[in-house]
Amino acid sequence: MASYTYTELYGSGSIGETISSGVEKVFTFTNPSGSSYFTMETIPSSSGFYEAASPKNFSGSFIVSESMGLVTSSYIASVVVQPGTQSFKFTPAITVTGTTYYLRGTGVYSLDILSSTSFDPDAQAFITATAITDTTQQNAVDALVIGLKDDLLWTKMLAVYPFVGGTATTCKYNLKNPLDTDGAFRLNFVGGWTFSNNGVTPNGTTAYADTFLVPLTHFTSGNSSFSAYSRINNSEVGVLLGTRGSAFNTNLELALRNASNTTVWHNTSSGGITVSPNPTTSAINFISSRINSANNITAQNGATNTQVGSEIAFSSFPIYISAKNNQGVAASFSTRNLAFAHVGTGLTQAECTLFYNRIQTFQTTLSRQV
């Protein structure tokens, strides 16, 4: 959602937001008193006129009440803003690029612009925080949230990182609590990273992301889970996420295809658990879960297995992504492109499979599945 105050609209106005072709937008005005005016105007060429190359931004369709008195052409659309709350709908025939038009107004009203599509409130909060405008990405996020809620998994999530939007800003937010704070487990990207529509890629030497999520504070015995969705098949010593609480006990770590084996430490001692069956690729969605203190559930692309591995004390250092937090120092850096990660409470084998299915649907919608 984009919002504008009357001071932002007054005079020269504000540059608009990009609106995709065929996407209906709802313009809602809250006007305390007095008739006012609102105009969307394509920026003229350097000669001060509209020419053949000028975008016909407002050649789409409008749904406007008669009282708003719409006046429109291919380049301009204007309405009267009466006292109270009023709305009109606009569906562009072409993609309207934000840098090609102004929003202007008179009076002291406020304006909210929102897609007419009604998203789940939690999905909308994430979309608003990230300012993602791509409709495929918006719909994928919405479907993911709704799916997790339908499968009763949403309440089991502490942090969900969809790595969507292709920028450091969009990829840092926690879907479960999209606030720009350490307490909301918003990521802090450190070192060299590449961001794209395929997710996030560390440089393998200095890059890691701090989740600010401390197992000792947020985990309880026999009740925790984490996952990572790697899109790269290679063998490396780097880990996909982890934290070490003492010199001899690696409390939480995922090492996919480290030499010949995949090893997971899920609040376990220094030896960890050698995953069986051993994954033949690191291009995989891997989930680790504990629903008791004696066993560890692992899921490789939804196929689950339970292995013996006694639980020990939790780390007091926050979890890092694409490296491990070795008592406050980043180590074991990964090079793998990640398209998803999460930390939460324990998931049963059935829930691991449900969770994988929702993640895979999300990745497939974004055309980046493995």
Quickly state the pLDDT bin for 250 (edges 50, 70, 90): low
What CATH number is attached to the domain comprising 176? 2.60.120.200
In the prediction, which pLDDT does 134 show? 85
CA distances for 220 relative to 173, 210, 225, 249, angstroms: 24, 21, 11, 18
In the prediction, which pLDDT does 116 show? 67
Q: Are residues 54 and 157 in the same domain?
A: no
Q: Are residues 179 and 300 in the same domain?
A: yes
Question: Could you tell me whether strands 285-290 and 295-300 are parallel, antiparallel, or unpaired per DSSP bridges?
Answer: antiparallel
CA distance 356 to 91: 36
Q: Are residues 274 and 313 in the same domain?
A: yes
For residues 265 and 329, the model is more confident at: 329
| pLDDT-wise least confident of 27-31, 39-43, 55-59, 162-166 | 27-31
131 is a domain residue:
yes
Average pLDDT, the chain: 91
- Specify the 3-state DSSP secondary structure of 299: strand
Tokens of residue 7, six digits:
């001071």
In the prediction, which pLDDT does 245 show? 84
Note whether 207 and 222 are within 8 A (CB): no
Q: Are residues 204 and 340 in the same domain?
A: yes
> Model confidence over 342-364: pLDDT tens digits?
999 999 999 999 999 999 999 99
**DSSP notation for 207-229:** -EEE----HHHH-BTTBEEEEEE
> Which of 96, 115, 134 lies at the terminal end of a domain, its last residue?
115
pLDDT of 101 > 90? The answer is: yes
Question: What stretches of the chain show up as alpha helix (H) in DSSP?
Answer: 6-9, 121-130, 135-150, 168-171, 215-218, 349-365
Q: Count Cβ neighbours within 10 Å for each residue of 75-103 and write b for 16 or more, e otherwise.
A: bbbbbbbbeeebebebebebebeeeebbb
Note whether 43 and 101 are within 8 A (CB): yes
pLDDT of 262 > 80? The answer is: no
Q: Are residues 77 and 130 in the same domain?
A: no
> Which of 97, 115, 133 lies at the terminal end of a domain, its last residue?
115
pLDDT of 163 > 90? The answer is: yes
> Model confidence over 264-282: pLDDT tens digits?
777 776 667 777 788 888 8
In the prediction, which pLDDT does 106 show? 93
For residues 310 and 321, the model is more confident at: 321
Q: Are residues 322 and 223 in the same domain?
A: yes
149 is a domain residue:
yes
Q: Are residues 158 and 106 in the same domain?
A: no
Say what angle helices 121-130 and 135-150 make with each other, to 10 degrees.
Answer: 140
In the prediction, which pLDDT does 121 show? 84
Note whether 306 and 295 are within 8 A (CB): yes
370 is a domain residue:
no
CA distance 138 to 131: 10
Note whether 281 and 257 are within 8 A (CB): yes
Tell me: cis bond preceding 32? Omega within 30 of 0 counts: no
> Which of 69, 88, 115 lies at the terminal end of a domain, its last residue?
115
Q: Are residues 127 and 108 in the same domain?
A: no
In the prediction, which pLDDT does 355 show? 97
Q: Are residues 150 and 44 in the same domain?
A: no
For residues 81 and 24, the model is more confident at: 81
Q: Which of 78-87, 160-169, 245-254 has the highest mean pLDDT?
A: 160-169
Burial label for 139, CB within 10 Å (0-12, 13-18, 19+), is: middle
Q: Are residues 165 and 143 in the same domain?
A: yes
Average pLDDT for residues 155-162, to the nearest whole number? 98
Range of the domain at 145: 121-365
- Specify the 3-state DSSP secondary structure of 25: strand
Note whether 141 and 365 are within 8 A (CB): no
Q: Are residues 160 and 227 in the same domain?
A: yes
Domain count, the chain: 2
314 is a domain residue:
yes
8 is a domain residue:
yes
Question: Could you tell me whether strands 199-202 and 193-196 are parallel, antiparallel, or unpaired per DSSP bridges?
Answer: antiparallel
- Specify the 3-state DSSP secondary structure of 293: coil
